[in-house]
């Protein structure tokens, strides 16, 4: 559109026409030819003249120019004539109009030729779709504003979501509009066309036809999609000698191997946390990471919303090698070195009577006590208990955990087994290694890489880059970004985003979700199925054709129904009741023979925000503070306080890491709760290619891996270097000595997060009141209150017992409210813009913190708001429904309101943070929310635009807004259903009932601000055996 604007005819600058303008000097004088000659000769360079009079600069000529109508009587010198007056008046009016001139974009309004059905401008439409992630589908509803998807919500009808989403799903919308997405096919570094690619591919595939595709290789991520599988199998059928390789750093290779070892076949296991009374998680972040996390968080949290009477509270044990969000929810958390997990698993197996197991010898007393107590607890709840193994555990440990669950009677109860949803499941690491070997051996003529980036994320020991960059293989890479792999391939092809393509995939429970596009591909990208089908000789087959073909068994009505619902009903695989087989004994033996680790252990884990780097170019995720460290924009080497002291590293200090001859430099970060002797480094950073946002963030942890994709490395040596790398942390300034201790200590003294054990809670349901300030009546005030009469009075509660700190609310709020990304430097300066933040506090000592707690903080919408009184221009005022409205166009930016806010929830546009230029980002914005400019204060509005949508609906139907009809973005996204919002004037509203919960307390109530957002205190359920 900008191009079109620049091509519009521009009025010629009037200054040009008057370049030769002269004032008349005297009465008419004769034309002197000599003078004319002289003037012409004296001029430098070519000069064009209109008449001799002009060159001679005669007064007549000047006069002629001056007159609009030369042959009529002169008007100017006389007194103001009618004509002059009108001219002046017109000019004056015109100039007056200029004062209002700002550069307005030219917009063309074109009516629909055919009005699309159901489309009402200003009213969003929701479409069911699904986001593929590591091959699995995340069922979603995408919100479309006039054809632009701007926001996603969870698909409430699907078991995997229940309406909630993860932070990553929320951020995927920005991925669609990412201006760094590749926009055209690239051949050897130059822009090319799909036609060119199709032609070339046809030639090379033709050459393969003779050998049955012996030189043809396809490399994709794990596939659960029936349509993609059909396309791939179609290709393999045409080229029987061709090979299909799989790679994905997040593919659960060890879980797969464990399943093969235990049961002899590939099975998926999913958990029913609604049934589980006692859960033990072994290095598993199951509440936040993984395909089923949203569902698990919901089921788990439902069992934590305790009332004094109910007895249904579950208990969670977590043993982990690095603090995770799941670990913060634990009733008993054990920080354990990765090398000690085999012994822990053995101890549990022995205690729970797994046949053939014996207690290990090397377990230290504390761990033994912990494991024995946990085992007794698990055994006591047979059939209602569960052990969850994380992907970081070895295959043998996974196998033994299957046996433990069998011994606990969990199989079929809390652990549901089913046939693997993945098509032809293989060990991705081994598959990639085989491909690398073939590439090196020169056996690969054609390699299609789709949706993966092995040049960046393959284990460094494989050196996949040199293998693929061999000069003879015809390589083509299909991806959203021109990433590291794209750079080494002959062809790079832009992939279609899931919001612009057709497809399907299986969710965590194995049911098939349909992916339907909400927008035409922005850059003509194609989906994996389309490209593979084209390679298989079905050029031109559209994604929709392929999908419909795959589901031809469904009638048109059924297919439409499935599209509407977002999933095909009845496609979940049946639950199985497998028996662990002989492989368990071998697994037990393998665990028993695991050697204790020497030196520092290095735990490589997917990053909580950007995973393995596939979301590294997503600014919303990069700027989202990581759940425990609250760091943004970088990965760090996490060290326990003792380990840091031991090697002499401080926060931000660069540490030289060496493992088996591989070196890396990463900044250190001290994290209480990290086991001693273990350094954790998150994957997904140090991208060399892949977009402006991704590049220059953090270090590449894959560079430390050997030839296999191990997550636990041993024998690392760490040496602090004399260098600091500035990091952007949103909470605290830990470069300053003693900050963390001070922060934790003060948070506890101020009773910001209130916590009790279940026993204490039963004994004293009103335990939260104990921490209230006794001498202050928070309800007294000099100021007259507000009367809400029979109208609405909005309010919110946040259940801290349910909150996992997963950040879904943070990113949902960013997406809903057009919150800008400010970048590392601005975050470092303390200017991040997110309206909701999740505060994290450590409780207890620095070395073994008793607990890590989360507290989401957003605008409290105080009844007696300190911000409202101090604004000199009345830009923040109290609404008739109790909200603290922020009037952006009235705000002059004194920042007094932010200073006076005790909760520090106000955010100021210190610079022009919004991108006003990039056209793609304009499409991504929510049209219902003002885009704020520089110099303006902003903050949480309780999603007032959503309240107003609900109000319009309600008023059309002549009723009041129903409870749950207006939902804030954070509430809607929250997997744990920790946030409840509604009308406090409605005695039956969920929020009103929630406020009556004895756990309900207000943050800093003693200030008399009377916040409308209140918190439900944490209640933990410790095992009495381990207490004290």
Partner 1 sequence: MSVADPPRHPVVPRDPPVLAPGHTAASVTDKISSVVFGKMPVWFYAGMAVAFGGVMMLLLSLTKLVFTGIGIWGNNQPVGWAFDIINFVWWIGIGHAGTLISAILLLLRQEWRTSINRFAEAMTLFAVACAVIYPLFHTGRPWLAVYWLLPYPNTMGMWPNFRSPLIWDVFAVSTYGSVSLLFWYIGLIPDLGTLRDKAKNLWQKRIYGTLSMGWRGSARHWHNYEQAYLLLAGLSTPLVLSVHSVVSFDFASGQIPGWHTTIFPPYFVAGAVFAGFAMVITLALPLRRLFGLQDFITDKHLDNMSKVMLVTGLIVAYGYLMEAFTSWYSGNIFETYVMKNRLEGPYRWLYYSLLVCNVLAVQPLWFRRVRYSPLAIWAISMFVNVGMWLERFVIIPMSLHRDFLPSSWDMYYPTAWDFSTFFGTIGLFLALMFLFIRVFPAIAIFEMRTLTPEAKVKEPAH
Lookup: tokens for 181: 């997405």
Residue 952 found at the interface with partner 1 (CB under 8 A) = no
Tokens 């061709």, residue? 242
Beta pairing, strands 884-886 & 907-908: unpaired
Residue 785 found at the interface with partner 1 (CB under 8 A) = no
Residue 537 found at the interface with partner 1 (CB under 8 A) = no
Closest by Cα among 299, 338, 301, 345 to 320: 338
Residue closer to partner 1 by CB (options 50, 890) is: 890
Question: Least distance in Å: CB of 816 to partner 1?
Answer: 21
> Is the distance from CB of 283 to CB of 319 less than 8 angstroms?
yes
Residue closer to partner 1 by CB (options 24, 893) is: 893
> Is the distance from CB of 794 to CB of 984 less than 8 angstroms?
yes
Between the alpha carbon of residue 666 and those of residues 365, 610, 656, 676, the distances in Å are: 34, 17, 7, 18
Residue 736 found at the interface with partner 1 (CB under 8 A) = yes
Binding mask 321-360 for partner 1 (x = CB under 8 A): ----------------------------------------
Residue 777 found at the interface with partner 1 (CB under 8 A) = no
Which one of the spans 71-79, 240-248, 333-341, 744-752 is the region binding partner 1 (CB under 8 A)?
744-752
Residues of this chain, 986-1005, that bind partner 1 according to CB under 8 A: 1003-1004
Which one of the spans 361-369, 452-460, 696-704, 824-832 is the region binding partner 1 (CB under 8 A)?
824-832
Taking phi over 0 as left and psi of -120 to 50 as alpha, with beta for the rest, 524 belongs to: left
Binding mask 221-250 for partner 1 (x = CB under 8 A): ------------------------------
Lookup: tokens for 122: 């200003």
Residue closer to partner 1 by CB (options 337, 837) is: 837
Number of helices and strands in the chain (H, E): 35, 40
Lookup: tokens for 949: 């949508």
Binding mask 848-887 for partner 1 (x = CB under 8 A): -------x-x--------x--xxxxxx-------------
Q: Name, in order, each residue with C-beta under 8 angstroms of 539's C-beta and a sequence gap of 6 or more.
A: 198, 202, 533
> Is the distance from CB of 533 to CB of 228 less than 8 angstroms?
no
Residue closer to partner 1 by CB (options 348, 891) is: 891
Residue 1022 found at the interface with partner 1 (CB under 8 A) = no
Lookup: tokens for 895: 């920042």
Residue 779 found at the interface with partner 1 (CB under 8 A) = no
How far is the C-alpha of 891 from the C-alpha of 895, rounded, in Å? 9
How far is the C-alpha of 81 from the C-alpha of 87, rounded, in Å? 10
Residue 770 found at the interface with partner 1 (CB under 8 A) = no
Question: Least distance in Å: CB of 793 to partner 1?
Answer: 22
Question: Least distance in Å: CB of 61 to partner 1?
Answer: 45
Residue closer to partner 1 by CB (options 635, 834) is: 834
> Is the distance from CB of 709 to CB of 433 less than 8 angstroms?
no
How far is the C-alpha of 637 from the C-alpha of 276, rounded, in Å? 35
The runs of H, that is alpha helices, within 24-151 are 33-42, 52-56, 59-66, 82-98
Residue 895 found at the interface with partner 1 (CB under 8 A) = yes
Exactly one of 25, 38, 68, 742 binds partner 1 (CB under 8 A); that residue is: 742
> Is the distance from CB of 532 to CB of 446 less than 8 angstroms?
no
Residue 723 found at the interface with partner 1 (CB under 8 A) = no
Exactly one of 50, 750, 959, 996 binds partner 1 (CB under 8 A); that residue is: 750
Residue closer to partner 1 by CB (options 409, 902) is: 902
> Is the distance from CB of 756 to CB of 1017 less than 8 angstroms?
yes
DSSP state of 443: -
Question: Least distance in Å: CB of 839 to partner 1?
Answer: 4
Residue closer to partner 1 by CB (options 544, 888) is: 888
Exactly one of 37, 472, 692, 733 binds partner 1 (CB under 8 A); that residue is: 733
Residue closer to partner 1 by CB (options 528, 871) is: 871
Residue 844 found at the interface with partner 1 (CB under 8 A) = no
Residue 170 found at the interface with partner 1 (CB under 8 A) = no
Exactly one of 140, 313, 936, 989 binds partner 1 (CB under 8 A); that residue is: 936
Exactly one of 894, 920, 1000, 1023 binds partner 1 (CB under 8 A); that residue is: 894
Give the helix/strand (H/E) hosting 143.
Answer: strand 136-145
Residue closer to partner 1 by CB (options 438, 832) is: 832
Exactly one of 688, 911, 952, 1027 binds partner 1 (CB under 8 A); that residue is: 911
Residue 937 found at the interface with partner 1 (CB under 8 A) = yes
Q: Name, in order, each residue with C-beta under 8 angstroms of 424's C-beta and a sequence gap of 6 or more.
A: 223, 229, 244
Which parts of 739-836 are beta strand (E)?
Answer: 755-757, 794-799
Q: What number of chain residues touch partner 1 (CB under 8 A)?
A: 58
DSSP state of 411: B
How far is the C-alpha of 934 from the C-alpha of 914, rounded, in Å? 8
Question: Least distance in Å: CB of 831 to partner 1?
Answer: 5
Residue 671 found at the interface with partner 1 (CB under 8 A) = no
Between the alpha carbon of residue 637 and those of residues 276, 344, 699, 718, 852, the distances in Å are: 35, 25, 10, 10, 19
Exactly one of 906, 946, 949, 995 binds partner 1 (CB under 8 A); that residue is: 906
Residue 908 found at the interface with partner 1 (CB under 8 A) = yes
Which one of the spans 306-314, 462-470, 480-488, 894-902 is the region binding partner 1 (CB under 8 A)?
894-902
Exactly one of 910, 922, 951, 965 binds partner 1 (CB under 8 A); that residue is: 910
Exactly one of 155, 165, 371, 909 binds partner 1 (CB under 8 A); that residue is: 909
Residue 678's beta-bridge partner residues?
601
Residue closer to partner 1 by CB (options 38, 742) is: 742
The runs of H, that is alpha helices, within 385-539 are 395-407, 428-440, 454-457, 464-468, 484-488, 528-535
Residue closer to partner 1 by CB (options 70, 830) is: 830
> Is the distance from CB of 838 to CB of 856 less than 8 angstroms?
yes
Which one of the spans 139-147, 296-304, 660-668, 831-839 is the region binding partner 1 (CB under 8 A)?
831-839
Measured in degrees and rounded to the nearest 5, phi and psi for residue 980 equal: -120, 130
Closest by Cα among 913, 816, 322, 833 to 624: 833
Which one of the spans 31-39, 245-253, 908-916, 990-998 is the region binding partner 1 (CB under 8 A)?
908-916
Residue 17 found at the interface with partner 1 (CB under 8 A) = no
> Is the distance from CB of 574 to CB of 418 less than 8 angstroms?
yes
Lookup: tokens for 11: 């009025």
Helix (H, G, I), strand (E, B) or coil at 643: helix
Residue closer to partner 1 by CB (options 744, 945) is: 744
Exactly one of 752, 806, 886, 1019 binds partner 1 (CB under 8 A); that residue is: 752
Give the helix/strand (H/E) hosting 903.
Answer: none
First to last CA, the chain: 68
Residue 726 found at the interface with partner 1 (CB under 8 A) = no
Residue 938 found at the interface with partner 1 (CB under 8 A) = no
> Is the distance from CB of 975 to CB of 165 less than 8 angstroms?
yes
Closest by Cα among 506, 532, 519, 518 to 450: 532
Residue closer to partner 1 by CB (options 404, 729) is: 729
Exactly one of 927, 1007, 1022, 1025 binds partner 1 (CB under 8 A); that residue is: 1007
Chain contacts with partner 1 (rule: CB under 8 A): 731-733, 736, 739, 742-744, 746-747, 749-750, 752, 826, 829-832, 837, 839-841, 855, 857, 866, 869-874, 890-896, 898-900, 902-904, 906-912, 934-937, 1003-1004, 1007
């Amino acid at each position: 559109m900008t191009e079109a604007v620049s091509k519009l005819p521009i009025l010629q600058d009037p200054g040009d026409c008057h370049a030769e303008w002269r004032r008349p000097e005297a009465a008419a004088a004769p034309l002197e030819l000599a003078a004319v000659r002289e003037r012409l000769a004296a001029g430098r360079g070519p000069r064009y003249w209109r008449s001799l009079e002009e060159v001679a600069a005669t007064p007549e000529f000047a006069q002629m120019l001056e007159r609009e109508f030369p042959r009529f009587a002169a008007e100017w010198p006389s007194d103001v004539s009618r004509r002059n007056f009108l001219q002046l008046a017109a000019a004056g009016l015109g100039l007056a109009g200029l004062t209002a001139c700002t550069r307005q974009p030219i917009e063309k309004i074109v009516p629909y030729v055919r009005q699309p059905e159901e489309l009402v401008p200003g009213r969003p439409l929701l479409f069911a779709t699904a986001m593929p992630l590591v091959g699995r589908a995340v069922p979603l509803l995408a919100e479309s504003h006039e054809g632009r998807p701007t926001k996603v919500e969870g698909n409430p009808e699907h078991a995997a979501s229940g309406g909630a989403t993860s932070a990553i799903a929320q951020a995927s919308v920005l991925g669609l509009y990412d201006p760094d997405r590749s926009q055209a096919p690239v051949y050897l570094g130059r822009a090319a066309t799909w036609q060119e690619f199709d032609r070339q591919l046809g030639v090379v595939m033709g050459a393969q036809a003779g050998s049955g595709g012996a030189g043809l290789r396809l490399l994709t991520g794990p596939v659960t999609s029936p349509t993609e599988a059909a396309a791939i199998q179609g290709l393999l059928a045409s080229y029987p000698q061709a090979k299909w390789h799989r790679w994905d750093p997040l593919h659960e290779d060890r879980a797969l191997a464990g399943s093969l070892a235990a049961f002899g076949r590939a099975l998926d296991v999913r958990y029913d946390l609604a049934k589980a009374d006692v859960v033990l998680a072994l290095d598993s972040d199951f509440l936040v990471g993984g395909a089923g996390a949203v569902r698990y968080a919901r089921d788990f949290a439902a069992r934590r919303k305790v009332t004094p009477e109910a007895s249904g509270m579950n208990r969670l044990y977590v043993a982990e090698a690095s603090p995770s969000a799941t670990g913060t929810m634990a009733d008993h958390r054990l920080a354990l070195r990765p090398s000690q997990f085999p012994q822990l698993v053995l101890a549990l197996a022995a205690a729970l009577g797994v046949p053939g197991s014996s207690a290990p010898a090397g377990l230290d007393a504390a761990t033994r006590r912990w494991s024995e107590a946990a085992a007794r607890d698990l055994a006591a709840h047979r059939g209602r208990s569960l052990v969850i193994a994380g992907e970081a555990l070895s295959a043998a440990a996974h196998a033994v955990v299957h046996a433990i669950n069998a011994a606990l009677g969990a199989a079929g109860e809390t652990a549901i087994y089913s046939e693997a949803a993945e098509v032809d499941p293989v060990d991705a690491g081994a598959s990639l290694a085989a491909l690398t070997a073939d590439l090196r051996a020169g056996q690969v003529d054609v390699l299609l890489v789709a949706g993966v980036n092995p040049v960046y994320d393959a284990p460094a020991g494989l050196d996949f880059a040199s293998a693929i960059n061999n000069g003879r293989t015809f390589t083509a890479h299909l991806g959203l970004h021109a990433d590291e792999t794209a750079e080494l391939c002959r062809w790079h092809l832009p992939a279609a985003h899931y919001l612009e393509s057709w497809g399907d995939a299986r969710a965590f429970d194995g049911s098939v979700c349909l992916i339907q596009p909400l927008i035409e591909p922005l850059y003509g990208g194609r989906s994996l199925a389309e490209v593979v089908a084209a390679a298989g000789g079905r050029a031109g087959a559209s994604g929709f054709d392929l999908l419909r073909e795959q589901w031809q068994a469904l009638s048109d009505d059924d297919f439409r129904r499935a599209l509407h619902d977002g999933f095909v009903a009845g496609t979940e695989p049946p639950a199985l009741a497998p028996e662990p087989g002989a492989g368990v004994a071998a697994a037990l033996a393998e665990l028993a023979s695991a050697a204790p680790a020497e030196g520092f252990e290095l735990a490589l884990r997917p990053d909580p925000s950007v995973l393995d780097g596939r979301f590294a170019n997503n600014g919303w995720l990069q700027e989202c503070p990581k759940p425990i460290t609250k760091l943004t924009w970088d990965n760090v080497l996490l060290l326990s306080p003792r380990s840091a002291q031991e090697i002499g590293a401080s926060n931000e200090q660069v540490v030289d890491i060496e493992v088996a001859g591989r070196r890396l430099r990463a900044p250190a970060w001290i994290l209480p709760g990290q086991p001693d002797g273990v350094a954790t480094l998150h994957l997904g950073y140090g991208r060399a290619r892949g977009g402006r946002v991704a590049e220059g963030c953090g270090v590449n942890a894959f560079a430390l891996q050997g030839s296999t994709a191990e997550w636990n490395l041993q024998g690392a040596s760490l040496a602090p270097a004399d260098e600091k790398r500035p990091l952007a942390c949103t909470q605290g300034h830990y470069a300053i000595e003693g900050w963390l201790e001070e922060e934790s200590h003060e948070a506890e003294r101020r009773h910001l997060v209130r916590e009790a054990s279940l026993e204490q809670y039963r004994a004293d349901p009103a335990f939260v009141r104990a921490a209230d300030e006794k001498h202050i009546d928070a309800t007294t005030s000099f100021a007259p209150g507000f009367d809400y009469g029979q109208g609405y009075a909005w309010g919110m509660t946040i259940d801290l017992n349910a909150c996992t700190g997963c950040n879904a609310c943070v990113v949902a709020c960013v997406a809903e409210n057009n919150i800008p990304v400010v970048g590392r430097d601005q975050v470092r300066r303390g200017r991040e813009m997110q309206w909701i933040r999740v505060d994290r506090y450590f409780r207890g000592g620095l070395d073994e913190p008793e607990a890590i707690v989360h507290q989401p903080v957003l605008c409290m919408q105080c009844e007696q708001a300190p911000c409202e009184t101090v604004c000199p221009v009345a830009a923040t005022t109290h609404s008739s429904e109790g909200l603290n409205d922020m009037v952006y166009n009235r705000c002059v930016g004194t920042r007094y309101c932010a200073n006076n806010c005790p909760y520090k929830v106000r955010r100021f546009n210190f610079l022009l943070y919004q991108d006003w230029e990039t056209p793609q980002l304009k499409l991504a914005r929510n049209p219902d929310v003002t885009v704020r400019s520089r110099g303006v204060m902003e903050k949480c509005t309780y999603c007032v635009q959503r309240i107003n949508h609900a109000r319009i609906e309600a008023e059309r139907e002549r009723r009041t807004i129903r409870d749950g009809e207006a939902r804030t973005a954070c509430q809607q996204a929250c997997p744990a259903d920790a946030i409840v919002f509604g009308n406090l004037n409605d005695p039956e509203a969920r929020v009103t009932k929630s406020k009556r919960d004895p756990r309900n307390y207000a943050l800093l109530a003693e200030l008399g601000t009377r916040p409308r957002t209140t918190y439900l205190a944490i209640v933990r359920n410790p095992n009495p055996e381990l207490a004290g």
